[in-house]
Chains A and B, each alone.
Chain A
Amino acid sequence: MTTEKTNAIEMRHIVKKFGDFKANDDINLTLHQGEILALLGENGAGKSTLMRILSGLLEPTSGEIFVKGKKVEINSPTKAKELGIGMVHQHFMLMESFTVLENIILGHEPTNGVALDIKKAREQILKLSEKYGLAIDPDAQISNITVAQQQRVEILKVLYRGADILIFDEPTAVLTPQEITEFIQIIKNLAKEGKSIILITHKLSEIKAVADQVTIIRRGRDVGTFEVANVDDNRLAELMVGHHVNMKLNKKSVKLGREILKVENLKVKNTRGSFAVKKLSLNIHGGEILGLAGIDGNGQDELVEAITGLRHVNSGKVIINNQNMTNKKVRQITEAGVAHIPADRQKYGLILNLPLAENLVLQTYYKQPYSKHGIINHQAIYEHAEELIKKYDIRTTSAELPASDLSGGNQQKAIIARELDRNSDLIIAFQPTRGLDVGAIEYIHKQLLAERDAGKAVLLVSYELDEIMQLSDRIAVLHDGKISGEVKPEDTNDTELGLLMTGIKKEGAVND
C-alpha cells in the first residue's frame, strides 16, 4: 500500500435520470492508478449505467468526472478513447462476420495511403497479444472462435486503442472456472503493467481474488467504498442487497417418483450442420431436479430444442412419460406433459407486442375454454390471465398491456406462470434467472423447488454454477455434446465441476 496515490478516475455526485427514474443517484467513485477497483451491485443497481457514462455512451444528468486529475466531459465514445478509457462489454461488441484483426482495428485502422495495412495491423496485434498473454489468431472469423477467445479480442481492442483505464463489465459470466482463473491472471498482469481497472461484478469470490478496493451500489445509490482486505463476504453481500441474505435454500427430501424423461443415445446437429449433441443419454424422475452444468455452446441449446421438438433428432430417442416422443411436433410434446422455460425469454418465451393475457395462453389458445370451433373466447382468456396474475404475482396494471411493457423479472414470471400452470410432468428450465435481480431469482428458485416437491421432474440447464449447486439433486455436466460426468452437489466442488466442464473426467465417473 503506497502512501500517495494518483487518481486515474474520479467521479463525483453522478446523477443519471431516465424520465422520472434515477438510474444513478449521487454516486462517487475513485479509481487509483494501477489498481483494480471492483464495482459491486445487483442487476439493475445502476452499475452498467455508470460505466456507460464513463465510456461516453450516455451523458450524466449532473455530476463531475475527473480523469488523471483533470475535469473532463465525456460526451462520446471517441472522447473516452482519447482519455484512455476502454470498456470490455458484457455482451461482446463484435462483428460476427469479420475477422479478429478487423474487429480489433475497426475505427483505428492503419493504412498505407488509402488501403488497409493488414500486415502492420497484424504485427501490432501480435505484439500486444504477446505482451499481455492474450493468445489469439488474428485471421480467424469471430463466429468460429470460443467465447473466451472473443473476450480476449475485446480486451485487445481496448489495448490496441492505447487505453490505460480498462472497464470490465461482468467479464466472467460466460467463462468456465478454469478460464476465470486465467482471466484473473490476465487482469493482474494488466494492473502490473500499470493499467488501472474497474471490474463490474456480483461475484464476491472474484472481488476477493483480484480487487484492491470495492465500491458498492444499491438501487442507484452508492453505499460506500471499502478496502477489499478489510471486509468479509457476508458484509459485502449485505451491503449489496440491503438486508441480511440467506444464501441457502431449504430443500426437503422428496421420494423419487417414476421416470419421466429418458433420453437415449441422442444425436442432434446444430444449425451449421455438425453434431452438437453426440450420443447423449440421461434420465429424470419425478421429484428431482437434474442440473445440467456446462459452458455455453456445448450442446445445451440443441439438446433442449431436440427434447422439446424444436430441432430434428438425427438418431436416438426421447421418451417422455413412457411414450416415444422423438421428432414429434412441438405441440404434441407440449401436450404430452412438457413445460419449457426458454433461455431467451424475449425471443422465444413471449410475443412482446401481444397483450399479456394472450401470451399466457400461447400453447392453449386452441383449447376450450379459450376457444371453441376455432373462435376465440376473449373473456375466458382474460379471466385466466387475471387468475395467473394474482397467483404468480405478476406486476402489471392490466392484462391488456403488451408483454413488452413488463419488466424483465415480470416477463419471466409470466412465462413461469404459463408453463407451470399447465401442470406438466416435466419442466425444462433453461437459464431461468438470467439477468434478473435477487428478489426475482429467489422467487423463481422457490417455484422450481415447489414443483420438484410436488413430484415433477425438473431439468435445469444453467451456466451459473451457483444456481446448479443450490437447486440440483443431481448434476450432469455437459461437454462437447456429451455428459462428461454426473455428480451429487453435496459431493462436489467448483474445481471438479470445472474440470468436467472442460471434458476432463474424474476417476470412476458415474455416467457416460
Chain B
Amino acid sequence: MIKVTPKVKNILVPTVSIIAGFLVGALIMLAWSYNPIEAYSSMFSSALGNMNGIGETIREATPLIFIAVGFAIASKAGFFNIGLPGQAQAGWLTSIWIVLAFPKLPGYILLPFAIISGAIAGAIVAGIAGYLRAQFGTNEVITTIMLNYIVLYVCQYLMQQVMPASLRIGTDTTKTISPNGSLKIGWLSTMFGDSRINGGIFLALIGLVLYWYFMKKTTAGFEIKAVGLNSFASRYAGMSSKKNIIISMLISGAFAGLGGVAQGLGTYQNYFTQTSSVDIGWDGLSVALLGGGTAWGILIAAILFSVLKIGGLGMQTIAGIPYEIVSIVIAAIIFFIAINYVIGKIFKTKTNKSKYHIPTRKEKGPNNGVDGPGKKVIEGSTN
C-alpha cells in the first residue's frame, strides 16, 4: 500500500483508472494482433498534433460538457437521468427549427432565441420524468429510457410530417441554417485549421462555471445536494423534495438540451433523421461518470473523451485499427472508476480512521450505527 493524503488520492484513483482502461484497450488490440503503441500514438497525434485536430477535439467536447453537467445536476439530486439522448435530441431539433423558421431575424435575437428554446425543449422532456417521479414516485430510470424512444419517434414524425417541406431537403435532412443563427465564428474556425470548432465552447465553459457556482454557493444548489444525499433528512429539515426533484430535472434537461443545440447550431448546422438515440447523449453520460460530478472533473473528462473520439478516427485511418476500440477503452475506464473501492485500496490515506466501507446507496432501515464495529473505533474517544 502506498500512503497518500486524501486529496492526492482523489486524483490518483481516476488516474489509475484511466491508465488501466488504456491497458485493457492495449490487451484487446494485442489479442487481435494490432499494435497498441502505434494505435495510441496515432490517436494522440491526430487529436492534438495539429490545429484542426485540436479544433475538432474542442468541438467534440462542447456538447459533452453541457450534457455531462446535465447528468451531474440530476445525479446530485439522487436521479439517474438516462434520458439525456432524448433531451439533447429535442434541443437539437428545436433550435434548428427555430433558426430555419425565422431566417430574417437579426442574429442577436435569433441566436439567443434558438438557444433558449432548445434548452426549454430539453427541460420539458426531462421535466416529464421529474414530475412523474415527484408526483407518483415513478422510477425515473424507466421513464427516461422510455422518453428516449418517444422523443426519437416524435422528432422523426415532426421533422418528416410537420415541418414545412420548404425547410427541408428531402425527407431526412433539413436545410442548412443561415449564418445569423449559427454558433460558428469565422476567425475561430480559421485559427483551428478550418475545423468545426464554434462559439458553443464558450457557452459550455460558462455553463460549467455556473454549475460550479450553483452547487457550491447557492441555497438552491445546497437543497438539491441535501435532497440527493438524504431525502428523509432534507424533508425533516423543511426542504421540499418534490420541488427539488422537479427543479433539478428541469435544469438537467435544459443542459442536455443545450448539448443538442451545440450539436445543431455548432457542429452540423442542420438536423437529420436519427435512427437510434443520439450518441452525444450516451457520450455525455460517460463523461459525467468519468468526471465524477465535479466541474473540473467534467472538463477534464470531456477533453479526454474527445481526444479519444477524434483521435480514434485518425487511428482508424492511419493505423487501420477499428474505431470501436476507443469506446471500449472509455467503457473500461468507467468500469475502473466504478470499482474505485478496490483501486482506492492500493492507496492508504494518512488520516482516514475508519476502514469500513459504508454503502451510500439506499441505506436500509433505521441504523443508529451503534452496533457496527466501524463506529466503535471512533466511539473510543467520545467520553
A and B touch in the complex (CB under 8 A): yes
Residues in A lying within 8 Å of B, measured CB to CB: 18-19, 21, 23, 43-44, 48-49, 58, 90-91, 308-310, 329-331, 334, 340, 342-354, 358, 362-363, 365-366, 371, 374-376, 395, 404-411, 434-437, 439-440
Scoring A49, A365, A407 by chain B CB atoms within 10 A of each residue's CB, the highest score goes to: A407
| Contact across chains for B217 and A375 when beta carbons are under 8 A apart | yes
| Contact across chains for B235 and A310 when beta carbons are under 8 A apart | yes
| Contact across chains for A334 and B219 when beta carbons are under 8 A apart | no
Task: Return the CB mask of B346-383 against A: 1 if under 8 Å, else 0.
Answer: 00000001110010100100111111011111111111
- Chain A residues whose CB sits within 8 angstroms of the CB of B202 once the complex forms: none
- Chain B residues whose CB sits within 8 angstroms of the CB of A310 once the complex forms: 235-236
Knowing that A21-B380, A23-B373 are A-B contacts, what are 9 other residue pairs whose CB atoms are under 8 Å apart, sorted by A's residue number? A18-B377, A58-B373, A344-B366, A346-B366, A362-B226, A365-B219, A376-B222, A395-B381, A405-B353
- Chain B residues whose CB sits within 8 angstroms of the CB of A435 once the complex forms: 368-370
Partner of B226, one of A309, A354, A406, A437: A354
- Chain B residues whose CB sits within 8 angstroms of the CB of A351 once the complex forms: 226, 229-230, 233-234
Q: Would you give the shortest CB distance from A173 to chain B, in whole angstroms?
A: 12
Size band of the interface chain B makes with A: 35 or more
- Chain A residues whose CB sits within 8 angstroms of the CB of B370 once the complex forms: 43-44, 408, 435-436
- Chain B residues whose CB sits within 8 angstroms of the CB of A439 once the complex forms: 382-383
Taken together as a complex, chains A and B put the C-alpha atoms of A13 and B111 apart, in Å, by 78
- Chain B residues whose CB sits within 8 angstroms of the CB of A340 once the complex forms: 236
- Chain A residues whose CB sits within 8 angstroms of the CB of B238 once the complex forms: 309, 329-331, 334, 363
19 A–B contacts from the bound complex (CB under 8 Å): A91-B371, A308-B236, A330-B236, A344-B368, A345-B368, A349-B233, A350-B230, A354-B229, A362-B237, A363-B237, A365-B222, A371-B219, A374-B219, A375-B218, A376-B216, A376-B217, A395-B382, A407-B379, A435-B368
| Contact across chains for A437 and B225 when beta carbons are under 8 A apart | no
Taken together as a complex, chains A and B put the C-alpha atoms of A43 and B373 apart, in Å, by 12
CB closest residue in chain B, given A439: B383
CB closest residue in chain A, given B221: A376
Taken together as a complex, chains A and B put the C-alpha atoms of A481 and B233 apart, in Å, by 25
CB closest residue in chain A, given B218: A374
| Contact across chains for A346 and B368 when beta carbons are under 8 A apart | yes
A-B pairs with lowest CB-CB distance, top 3: A331-B238, A435-B370, A439-B383
| Contact across chains for A353 and B229 when beta carbons are under 8 A apart | yes
CB closest residue in chain B, given A308: B236
| Contact across chains for A19 and B382 when beta carbons are under 8 A apart | no
Partner of B379, one of A44, A345, A404: A44
| Chain B positions 258-276 with a Cβ under 8 Å from a chain A Cβ | none
Say whether B165 faces chain A, with CB atoms less than 8 Å apart. no
| Contact across chains for A48 and B371 when beta carbons are under 8 A apart | yes
Task: Return the CB mask of B202-240 against A: 1 if under 8 Å, else 0.
Answer: 000000000000001111101001100110111111111
- Chain A residues whose CB sits within 8 angstroms of the CB of B218 once the complex forms: 374-376
- Chain A residues whose CB sits within 8 angstroms of the CB of B232 once the complex forms: 347-348
- Chain A residues whose CB sits within 8 angstroms of the CB of B220 once the complex forms: 374
Partner of B382, one of A308, A350, A371, A437: A437
CB closest residue in chain B, given A90: B371
Taken together as a complex, chains A and B put the C-alpha atoms of A503 and B208 apart, in Å, by 61
Taken together as a complex, chains A and B put the C-alpha atoms of A395 and B353 apart, in Å, by 15
Taken together as a complex, chains A and B put the C-alpha atoms of A406 and B382 apart, in Å, by 9
Partner of A434, one of B233, B240, B368: B368
| Chain B positions 77-114 with a Cβ under 8 Å from a chain A Cβ | none
| Contact across chains for B360 and A349 when beta carbons are under 8 A apart | no
Q: Contacts A358-B222, A376-B218, A407-B378 known; A346 to B369 CB distance under 8 Å?
A: yes
Taken together as a complex, chains A and B put the C-alpha atoms of A269 and B375 apart, in Å, by 35
Q: Would you give the shortest CB distance from A389 to chain B, in whole angstroms?
A: 14
- Chain B residues whose CB sits within 8 angstroms of the CB of A346 once the complex forms: 363, 366-369
- Chain A residues whose CB sits within 8 angstroms of the CB of B371 once the complex forms: 48, 90-91
Taken together as a complex, chains A and B put the C-alpha atoms of A371 and B218 apart, in Å, by 8
- Chain B residues whose CB sits within 8 angstroms of the CB of A308 once the complex forms: 236
Q: Contacts A345-B368, A346-B367 known; A44 to B376 CB distance under 8 Å?
A: yes
